Amino acid sequence: MSILKIARMGHPVLLIPAKPVEDATAPDVQRLISDMAETLDDAGGVGLAAPQVFSSLRLFLYLVPASRAEGGAEMPLTVVINPVVTPLGEDIELGWEGCLSIPGLRAAIPRFQRIRLTATGADGAPIDKELSGFEARVVQHEADHLDGVLYTMRMHDFRYFGFNEETTRHELPLPKVKLKT
C-alpha cells in the first residue's frame, strides 16, 4: 500500500467528470482502494474521491466518526463505486464542509438532508441505502468530486467561508433556516 499525493484546488483533474469503473474487483481497482484508504487515514479526513488522487474514476471512500454519527455509532470505511445519489425530498440545510483538496479552509454548503445512495461496493455487491445527517452530507460532497464539482462551487454566502482555525475559534453560527430547492 502507498500514501498517494492529493490534488489541490486548481488542478484540472478535479474539474472533469470521472469515468465509470468497469470492474470493481479488478486488481488495479482493489490496489487503488487500498492506497486511498491509507491516504485517507494519513490525511485525517472523512472522505476521499479517486480524482483527488489523480485517478479519474467514479470511486470514493468515506467514514463517519462516532462524534458525527446519528445515534453515536461510528460508520466504518465504506467504498462506493459508480454511485447514483438521489435526493429524498426537497429539504436542504447548511453545514460546514472542508476538503482535503482545499486544505485549511471550510464553508457553509447547502446539501439535501436525505438521499438515496445506489452504487457498487468494493466486493462488487450492490449498495442501496437511504442516508441522512452527516453521512448524507459526506456522500454528496464526495459524489460531487466525481462530477468535477468542488464545494466552493456550491457556496451561496461567502460570509461563511474561512480558515478552519478562525471559523472554529469564533464559532460562526450558521443560519437555522432550512432552504428549499
Catalytic residues: 142
User: 126 burial class (0-12, 13-18, 19+ CB within 10 angstroms)?
Assistant: exposed
Q: Is there a contact between 51 and 145 (Cβ–Cβ < 8 Å)?
A: yes
User: 99 burial class (0-12, 13-18, 19+ CB within 10 angstroms)?
Assistant: buried
Q: How far apart are CA 76 and CA 133, in angstroms?
A: 16
